[in-house]
Structure 1
């Protein structure tokens, strides 16, 4: 398998998931700052132009980070990052969905419309800078919501899952692009330290 990799939180999710499962991926770095992911040779592989993309041994491509993580789980179920029972898998997917839609999307789009505007404006339609600020506020509110709900070591209680990987990679990214975790949180700071201490966090 070959991973079309780059800087940014999305590829980090896949690298971290692979590391947790002990899967070695041959990586090809795509220079997204230079727009290489928008060039015809890459778009032929992945029409969305996003990174990462996983090229399988038969030459087919799997893109989108949750789909890639699901594929890795299918081909190597242990150790699990999604779950070993129907209930565990449903719970993980529920929290991945909540984190993706409620936090990741507004946080990332808020960044693209503000600090990242110079890079992204020529490449995609963006909300206004004022709209970007509102999206940042929505993302911060979702972190407060998560913080108030969580009580165990991980998002899914005592199970480390893809939900933790997704949330961690984007919380870390947010901290780098002007969206640190809001003040007054109780659970998330200690959780972040626990995840940062895992060997896969260096992937």
Structure 2
């Protein structure tokens, strides 16, 4: 089994998940800035052109970051980053959906249609006129997350879960592209600092992130 990886917040999210679980495997890096993931032979493995992917020993390929993490959690249930009980798993998935739908998708698309437009304009359909509004929607969602973090260390209380990792990798990347987080969101700011102090936050960064100029 090996991880088909690259620079970027989504590959980083899987690497951070693996680091928290102390999972090691072969990693095959791809040049997404050069578009390697948008042409053969990569497209034979994942026709969507997205990175990362998990290539199993039998050649089957699993894509989508959350699906990869769910699979790894089943293989390595301890420590549980989704949950050890039905209630814990439901709680973690609820938090994950909240951050994905209310924050991450808006911020990622705001970047693709704004600061990242030179990179994405010839790869996917882009809506440059939507970038500012998408950023505003993401900030609204982040304000909601700030209320959900009140009195908590992480999204699910005292335990770090997949939702924390997904949100952290998104925000850390987005801020590195020039976005600003409202300093009034004290709970988010404290949570960011808390997650940033974890060894996995540093070890999951691409080796060349400083050269690229973005944290992914």
* Mapped pair 1:144 → 2:147: no
Aligned residues: 202
Quote the residue 2:134 is aligned against. 135
Name the CA distance, whole Å, in 2 between partners of 1:145 and 1:114: 24
Q: Deviations over 1:138-188 (max 9, x none)?
A: 111111111022121000011110011001100101111122322311111
Q: Distance in 1 between matches of 2:183 and 2:78?
A: 37
- Secondary structure at the counterpart of residue 175 of structure 1: helix
**Aligned-residue CA RMSD (Å):** 0.9
User: Which consecutive aligned stretches of 4+ in structure 1 deviate over 4 angstroms post-superposition?
Assistant: none
Q: Which moved more, 1:182-191 or 1:12-21?
A: 182-191
* Secondary structure class of the residue paired with 2:91: helix
The DSSP-based 3-state class of the residue aligned with 2:4 is strand
Q: State the 1:94 CA deviation.
A: 0.9
In structure 1, the residue matched to 2:63 is 63
Q: What's 1:179 paired with? A: 179
Give the TM-score, by structure 2 length.
0.91
Using the alignment, how far apart are the partners of 2:72 and 2:158 within structure 1?
21
* 1:37 corresponding residue in structure 2: 37
2:12 alignment partner in structure 1: 12
Q: Does the CA-based 8 Å contact 1:171-1:180 persist in structure 2? A: no
Equivalent positions of 1:110-129 (< 5 A) are 110-127=110-127, 129=128
CA distance in 2, matches of 1:189, 1:47: 38
Structure-1 separation of matches of 2:73 and 2:21: 8
2:85 aligns with 85
Contact 1:10–1:52, Cα closer than 8 Å, also in 2: yes
Looking at structure 1, the residues matched to 26 and 194 of structure 2 have their Cα atoms a distance apart, in angstroms, of: 28
- In structure 2, the partner of 1:162 is 162
CA contact (8 A) 1:147 1:188 kept: yes
The gaps in structure 2 that reach 5 residues or longer are 205-216
Query: Unaligned 5+ residue runs, structure 1?
Result: none
C-alpha distance in 2, partners of 1:181/1:58? 44
